[in-house]
Amino acid sequence: MALQASFLPSALSVHKEGKFNGVKDAAIFGVRISENAICDFGSSLRISSKRNYASLAIRAQTTATTPSINQSTTNTKKTLRKGNVVITGASSGLGLATAKALAEDGKWHVIMACRDFLKAQQAAKAAGMNKENYTVVHLDLASLDSVRQFVRNFRQTGMKLDVLVCNAAVYFPTAKDPSFTADGFEMSVGVNHLGHFLLARELLEDLKESDYPSKRLIIVGSITGNTNTLAGNIPPKANLGDLRGLAGGLGGHHSSMIDGGEFDGAKAYKDSKVCNMLMMQEFHRRYHEETGITFASLYPGCIATTGLFRSHIPLFRTLFPPFQKYITKGYVSEEEAGKRLAQVVSDPSLTKSGVYWSWNHNSASFENQLSQEASDAEKAKKVWELSEKLVGLA
């Protein structure tokens, strides 16, 4: 506490406004219907739906008078089906913990959008997730073709899209040289920001068509991209500069860094998180009023044990969890972080759009403040426009 209390006065002052919104308090929107679909690899990606989702949804609607069916009493627009949530990177860490929390909730069908199909299936099984509550669909965010293919595959399932969670990320703190996506973008920004940007833009159409009571697009952010915090001031600091590297395509001919500087893996990750938080706000400004979709970002706490740190040096991986647990007190378990993100997905009281959520030490959610750069509307617009060009939307 000492560190946060002494270094983060502004964050602490907003804690007071925090209110508890436990996952368990969530109103029940849907009914239990048995869904099951398999996506597997043969020579090419194939999706076989054991049942037809579209007809399932209709069937569920027609059984609305069954006494065991739960209906939302807080919303006049009743939806008599489970919510469908796509979570990228649900094969480990925060994504898996969130998928598990939502699957166990009974109100959600989780589409696990993962680059390693077998790993995702095994992870879901090992987490004890019931097969009826999830579908694995292949998605490699390091390839724009894969993103487009994912969108086509998802649409083929006939499922409606109610919530999209952009969660997947990579972090290369020890890399001396950049690596690149299939489209030639520096990998951290390519996967964490550009792949998700295309995915979210494409799936916006699907979200718009959803009849679910609360449609949401959530992009996971982080404290380390926010220079208004102690964590955000540990070098190297996030800084998008004048975006000259992004404008140049992050390809290495000019620079693989957004600000046009020398490659630095830790900075590239933090820059990508700034892009994530800026894009959430830009989506909000452009689409919230027109679509009613809630756009949100969050810092779930420091989940010091996840695969995110897999390529860090062993000494770091050993010391980082106790450091966060006992010194900064910023540590949260994967399970707790999963509950927090699940809350942003499904809690009826977290419908405010354009918000960056955080949690205080009592695990109460509060609207946190972003750094100056991460809330710069002009920069957000520029990042949006440059990203559109890079992913072929403009």
Minimum CB distance to ligand PMR smaller for 135 or for 360: 360
368 binds ligand NDP (CB under 6 A): no
Which does residue 319 touch among ligand NDP, ligand PMR, ligand LMG, none (CB within 5 to 8 A, set by kind)?
Answer: ligand LMG
Q: Is the CA virtual torsion 21, 22, 27, 31 positive or negative?
A: positive
Taking CB positions, which residue lies at the least distance from ligand NDP? 93
The continuous run of DSSP H or E covering 382 comes out as: helix 377-390
Residue labelled with tokens 């520029």 = 382
Pick one of ligand LMG, ligand NDP, ligand PMR, none as the site partner of residue 328 (Cβ within 5 to 8 A by kind). Answer: ligand PMR
Closest CA to 141 of 83, 187, 81, 95: 187
Q: Does residue 233 interact with ligand LMG by CB under 6 A?
A: yes
Interface stretch with ligand PMR, choices 119-127, 220-228, 338-346, 353-361 (CB under 6 A): 220-228
User: Residues 6 or more apart from 54 whose CB is under 8 A from it?
Assistant: 158
Backbone φ and ψ for 296, nearest 5 degrees, come out as -145, 155
- Rounded to whole angstroms, the Cα distance separating 53 from 192 reads 30
Nearest residue (CB) to ligand NDP, 78 versus 309: 309
Residues 164-183 that bind ligand PMR (CB under 6 A): 171, 173
Number of CB atoms found within 10 A of residue 378's CB: 7
Residue from the set 106, 158, 173, 354 that interacts with ligand LMG by CB under 6 A:
173
Using the rule CB under 6 A, which residue among 137, 223, 278, 280 binds ligand PMR? 223
Q: What's the min distance (Å) between Cβ of 144 and ligand NDP?
A: 11
Helix axes 265-291, 377-390, angle to 10 degrees: 100
Cβ proximity to ligand NDP, 147 vs 380, nearer residue = 147
Which residues make Cβ contacts (< 8 Å) with residue 206, sequence separation at least 6? 154, 155, 160, 161
299 is catalytic: no
The residue from 133, 157, 224, 227 that contacts ligand PMR (CB under 6 A) is: 224
The two three-digit tokens of residue 35, written as one number: 């869904």
Q: Which of 53, 171, 269, 356 is catalytic?
A: 269
- The strand ranges marked E within the chain are 37-41, 45-49, 83-88, 108-114, 134-138, 163-166, 216-220, 294-298, 355-359, 365-367
Residues 260-319 that bind ligand NDP (CB under 6 A): 273, 299-300, 302-304, 306-308
- Comparison of 159 and 220: residue with beta carbon closer to ligand LMG: 220
- Residue 338 CA to residue 332 CA, distance in Å, equals 10
Which residues would be at the binding site for ligand PMR (CB under 6 A)? 3-4, 171, 173, 222-224, 230-231, 234, 266, 269-270, 302, 328, 330
Q: Which residues are catalytic?
A: 269
